[in-house]
Every structure is written in C-alpha cells, then in structure tokens.
Amino acid sequence: MAKRADGDSSTVKEARPPVIVWNKERERFETEDKEAFLQYHLRGVGLVAAAANSSDNPEQEKRKGAAVMMDMVHTYVPRSKRGMGLAALLCDAAFAHAQCHSMLVIPTCSYISDTYLPRNPAWNSLVCNGEPKSSM
Ligand code: COA
C-alpha cells in the first residue's frame, strides 16, 4: 500500500501492472482478459538456416541450429487501453520467450518493426534481418 502524495495518512491501492499470459495453443501472448494480444506463428527449420546464413550477427550464428522462428504477425490493444505501453509489455514477453527458446524473430507487425524495436534495440540481436520474409 502507498501513502497519498498530499500527505493524507489514508492508504491508496497501487495499480497492479497487467499480467501477460502465454497462450500456447493459440500462439499468442495476451492479457488475462484476452482483449490485448500479440499473435505469432512458428516457422520451420529451413528458414532458420537461411536467415542465419544471411547475417554476420554472432547471436544469429549461435542460433543457426534452432528448430523454429517466431513470426510476430500482429499486435492488438483495445482502443480504450492504447498509449499506455501495453503493446510494449506484450512484446517484452514475446521477445523474452524467443530468447529463452533460442528462436529468431520475424517482426512482421509494423508496431514491432517501426516502434518497439527502435525503442528496445537490445532485442535486435534476435531479429531475422535477411530474407526470407513471412508468408502470411
Ligand atoms: N505501427 C507502428 N507504431 C505504432 C502503430 C503502428 N501500426 N500504432 C501505434 N504505434 C505507436 C504509437 O504512435 C505510439 O507512439 P508514441 O509513444 O510516440 O505516441 C506507440 O506505438 C504506443 O506504444 P504502446 O503504448 O506500447 O502501444 P499500444 O498499447 O498503444 O498499442 C497498437 C499499439 C499498435 C498495438 C495499437 O494501437 C493497436 O492495436 N492498433 C490496431 C492494430 C494495429 O495496427 N496493430 C499493428 C500492426 S500489426
């Protein structure tokens, strides 16, 4: 519990940060109410080898033998909840998952390629920056 900024000794409830859940069956990271989500598709082994060969990125070289890539195809947040960093939280969870499972990422979603990655350049080492592109 936190004290109010005006010095009032009564307590106020701290807002709980949204919990992001991995929905393996639907290939999504989503909020508990499922209203906001990041949709991905897993891509096969051939793509991994081709992508890794097209780069001199050592992180990608390390992942050459990985079985799959995460194609992050779509991010969605309901209008009423936009602009508060919810999409970024979904991406944080998805990129951490990719890293944990030694997967490269295809950033098909424009929010991820144009906004999230430039603001979180540490994840660039996971990004497949060569052909092939996703086949949606
Ligand atoms: N492409 C790139 N950047 C976008 C974007 C898009 N389609 N839509 C919004 N952004 C930018 C905003 O301009 C904003 O920038 P600012 O911080 O400089 O104002 C930033 O994303 C907001 O980031 P964040 O708060 O983390 O995102 P969000 O929770 O508001 O959700 C979307 C962002 C894109 C998921 C949400 O606007 C949405 O669901 N849009 C409809 C679906 C869509 O277009 N998805 C992206 C393509 S797959």
The predicted-structure confidence for 87-106, as pLDDT tens digits, reads as follows 999 999 999 999 999 999 99
The predicted-structure confidence for 39-86, as pLDDT tens digits, reads as follows 999 998 644 444 444 556 655 555 555 568 999 999 999 999 999 999
State percent of the chain over pLDDT 70. Answer: 67
- Is the CB of 90 inside a 6 Å radius of any atom of ligand 1? no
- Is the CB of 40 inside a 6 Å radius of any atom of ligand 1? no
Question: CB under 8 Å, gap of 24 or more: what pairs does 23-30 form?
Answer: 29/90, 29/93, 29/94, 29/97, 30/90
pTM of the model: 0.81
CB 28 within 8 Å of CB 38? yes
CB atoms inside a 10 Å sphere around CB 8: 9
pLDDT for 68 equals: 81
Peptide bond into 132 cis (omega under 30): yes
Mutate to test the pocket of ligand 1, among 39, 82, 112 (most ligand atoms within 8 A of CB): 82
pLDDT for 67 equals: 64
Distance 84 CA to ligand 1 centre (A): 10
Ligand 1 closest atom vs CA 74: 48
List, by residue number, the catalytic residues: 109
| Type of residue numbered 32 | E
